[in-house]
Structure 1
Amino acid sequence: MAILVIDDEQDIRFLIEKFLNKAGFTDLYFASSPEKAFEILGIDEYEGNSQVESSKIELILLDIMMPGTDGIEVCERINNYPEISNIPIIMVTALTDPETLERAFNAGAMDYITKPIRRVELIARASSAIKLYRERQTRIKREIELEDALHRLEETNKKLEKIATIDELTKLPNRRLLDETLKNEWKRAKRNRSFLSVIMLDIDYFKNYNDTYGHLKGDECLQMISSKLKDLMFRPGDFVARYGGEEFIVILPETNLEDALIVAERLRKGVVELQIPHVDSKISDYVTVSLGVTTIKFGDKLKDILDEKDAREEELINKFVETADEALYEAKEKGRNKVESKYFTLRA
C-alpha cells in the first residue's frame, strides 16, 4: 500500500521521500500539482464524471499552499468522491493560524504537519494515520462480509420457509400454510363483514386407484389434479392447498355460496376433463372428485357473537372446515362426482 505526496516544491518532495524511505515506506507516489494528483487518484477532469478506480493509496500528504488550486480545495474535491474519501489526508503547512487549520479540517483533513518538516513528527503522524486507515478498512470489510452473510442467511431462510409450507409431491401449499391462510382470511372477512367460502375436495375411490395402478401412478394422479386445480384458480386471492392424502381445500375470500358452487362445479368438470383412466372406479371410467362447499357471512349480529368468542376462534374455524367436510360426505353419499353444500351456522 502506498502514500501519495502532493507538493509543488521539489525540495519538500525530496525531503519527505528521504524521511519516509528511512522509516520503511518505499511505495510512494509524487504529484507536483493538483492536476497530477487527480490523475493518480483517477479523478476525471470534470466534477460528477468520476472514473475513480480502487486505489492502493493509504495516506495523502497534501501541501496547503500551492499555485492555482490550493491544498484545501484539493482536499474538498477528493472528499467529494466516496470511493477515495476515506483515504486519510494530512496537511503539510507553514500556516498554523486557527482560521486556516479550521478550513482544512472542515475540508476533510484528519491532521496536519508543520513546516519545516521534522522527521519524527512526520513518521509518527503518518504511521498513526495509516494504522487507523487499515483498522477502519478491516472493520468495513468485516461489516460488508457480515451483511453479505446475513443476506445469504435471509435468502436461505426464505427458501426453507417456502419448503416448509409447500407439499413436496403436489407443489401446492401444505397443511401448515393452509391453516395460516384460513385463519388470516377468517379474520379479514370478520373485519370486513364479508363472505368467506371453503371447498373440500376428495378424489373418488383413490384407494382403488392405488391398488390397481400402484402408488407411483397414484402420485402422478395427485400431481395432475393438483396442477389442474391450481390452473382453475382464476382470482389472485383464491387459494388451493393439499389437506392430506387425496383431499384438497380451496379458500374463496369474499365469495358467497352461489358463486362458490360455481367454482366447485368448475373444479369437478376440470378433473373429469383430465380423463385419467380409472378402471376400478364404481362411477366412471375416469378419475372423478366429490366436493363439499360451505359459506359464512360475517354480518353485524354474527360479528358481535364472534367478537365475544375470540378465545374460541380456532375452534370455530375448525367447525367451519368440518361443515365443508360434512357437505363432502353428503356428495359421496349421493353417488360421488358431485358438489354438495351446507351453510355454516353459529348459535350465540
Structure 2
Amino acid sequence: MNLEQLQEAFPHPVGPLRILVVDDQPVNIRALYEVFRGRFEVLMATSGEQAISLCREQRPDIILLDVVMPGLSGHEVCRRLKASPGTRDIPVIFVTSQNEEAEEALGFEIGAVDFITKPINPVIVLARVRTHLALKLQSDLLRSFAMIDGLTKVANRRKFDETLALSWRACQREGRPLSLVLLDLDYFKQYNDRYGHQKGDHCLMAVAGALGHGLRRPHDLLARYGGEEFVCILPGTDSQGAIQCAEVMREAVKALQIEHQDSAAGPFVSISLGIATQIPGADTSPEALLAQADRQLYQAKRKGRNRACFIDLAAGRDAGK
C-alpha cells in the first residue's frame, strides 16, 4: 500500500499527518514548510528543547531535524526522543549540510531513519518523507493489532500496562489526578456453567461494547484485564468524574438485559466496579493505585455486587454505591 491507500483504509486518529520541522534558522523552516503545505500539518520548532516539548504534547508522525543547533544539538535531541517510550517510535530524518560517511553512520546509530542534505531538493524531500510516513503507518497498524484483545476487540493487557505507565508519568509531570476503574462481571462462572462458554464469549463481547459508552475522551482507555475483568484508565479525571464514568458503564451493561438466572445480584448480567484516584507522586506507583482499585472492587462484591466502591487517595476518602 502507498501512503494514500494507507490513509484511506486506516484514517489517522487525530486528523492530518503531522510533520515536525526543527531548525534554528527560520528561512530553512520556511523552505520545508512550502514543500509540505497543503499536504500535511506542519509543526515548527527553532530549538532542541522546543522540539522535545512539542513531541511530548503533539506526537508528530515524523520529524525533520537539523543537526547543528545552539543548545541541544540534533544528535542529542534524537537520543532523548529514542530514550523515551512515548516518542521513541517517531521517525527522525536528519537535515544537514554535512555529508560525511561518519556523520551518517552516527545518525543511524542513534536512531535516525534517513538523511537529507542541504540545500534541499523539494522533490526528493517530499518523496523520502512520504516513504517513511507510509512505513510508520504500516508499523503503527501492526503494533495496534498486537495490542488488541482477540475476543472483545478492546485493548489487551499489554496495551493497558504500556498506557498506564505513560499516563502515570504524564499526570505526575502535570500534577493532575489519575483514576483507574477495575470491574468484572458478577457471577460469571455461574453464567458459563448454565449457558455454556460460547454464550459466555458472546456476553463478554456485548459487555465490552457497552463499556465503551462510558469513555468519551480519546486518551481514556478500556482494556480487558483478564478473564471477565476489564479496566479503564482515566488520565486527568478526579474521583467524581471517575464515579460518573463507572455509573454510565454499569447502567450500559444493565441496559443490555442479558439474562442471568443464576446471579444473586439480579436477573440480568451486571458488573461490580472498584475505583481509585490519586495524583501520582514520587512516593507512589501505578501498581499501588491498581491494587487500591482491586481492593475497592472486592468491597463492591462484599457489599452485594452490581455497584461501585471508590477511594480518593488525594482526598483521603472512600465510599460505596
Relative to the length of structure 1, the TM-score reads 0.51
Superposed counterparts of 1:190-339, under 5 Å: 190-298=172-280, 303=281, 306=282, 316-339=285-308
State whether residues 213 and 249 of structure 2, in contact with CA within 8 Å, keep that contact through their aligned partners in structure 1. no
> Displacement, 1:252?
1.1
* Percentage of identical aligned residues: 42
Which amino acid letter does the alignment assign opposite residue 246 of structure 2? A
Q: 1 CA distance for matches of 2:245 and 2:200?
A: 25
Query: Which has more radius of gyration?
Result: 1
Q: Which secondary structure state, in structure 1, belongs to the residue aligned with residue 275 of structure 2?
A: strand
Superposed counterparts of 1:1-348, under 5 Å: 154=136, 156-298=138-280, 303=281, 306=282, 316-344=285-313
Superposed CA deviations along residues 250-300 of structure 1, whole A, max 9, x for unmatched, are 1111111122111111111111011011111112110000000000024xx
Q: Which secondary structure state, in structure 2, belongs to the residue aligned with residue 252 of structure 1?
A: strand
> Displacement, 1:156?
4.6
Partner of 1:47: none
Q: Which secondary structure state, in structure 2, belongs to the residue aligned with residue 236 of structure 1?
A: coil
Partner of 2:19: none
State whether residues 214 and 246 of structure 2, in contact with CA within 8 Å, keep that contact through their aligned partners in structure 1. no
State the 4+ residue runs in structure 1 displaced beyond 4 angstroms.
Answer: 146-156
> Displacement, 1:169?
0.5
Q: 2 CA distance for matches of 1:263 and 1:154?
A: 34
Quickly say closer, same or farther: Cα 1:318–1:273, change in 2 above 3 A: same
State whether residues 213 and 252 of structure 2, in contact with CA within 8 Å, keep that contact through their aligned partners in structure 1. no
Which amino acid letter does the alignment assign opposite residue 302 of structure 2? E
Partner of 1:44: none
Query: What is the alpha-carbon root mean square deviation over aligned residues?
Result: 2.5
Superposed CA deviations along residues 4-37 of structure 1, whole A, max 9, x for unmatched, are xxxxxxxxxxxxxxxxxxxxxxxxxxxxxxxxxx
Q: 2 CA distance for matches of 1:263 and 1:204?
A: 19
Q: 2 CA distance for matches of 1:294 and 1:185?
A: 14
> Displacement, 1:159?
3.0
Q: 2 CA distance for matches of 1:252 and 1:317?
A: 13
Q: Which secondary structure state, in structure 2, belongs to the residue aligned with residue 342 of structure 1?
A: strand
Quickly say closer, same or farther: Cα 1:172–1:283, change in 2 above 3 A: same
Partner of 2:118: none
Q: 2 CA distance for matches of 1:289 and 1:237?
A: 23
Superposed CA deviations along residues 225-246 of structure 1, whole A, max 9, x for unmatched, are 1111112211222211111110
Partner of 1:61: none
Which amino acid letter does the alignment assign opposite residue 270 of structure 1? A
Q: 2 CA distance for matches of 1:223 and 1:229?
A: 10
Gaps of 5+ in 2: 1-127, 315-321
Quickly say closer, same or farther: Cα 1:184–1:148, change in 2 above 3 A: closer
> Displacement, 1:153?
6.0
State whether residues 202 and 291 of structure 1, in contact with CA within 8 Å, keep that contact through their aligned partners in structure 2. yes
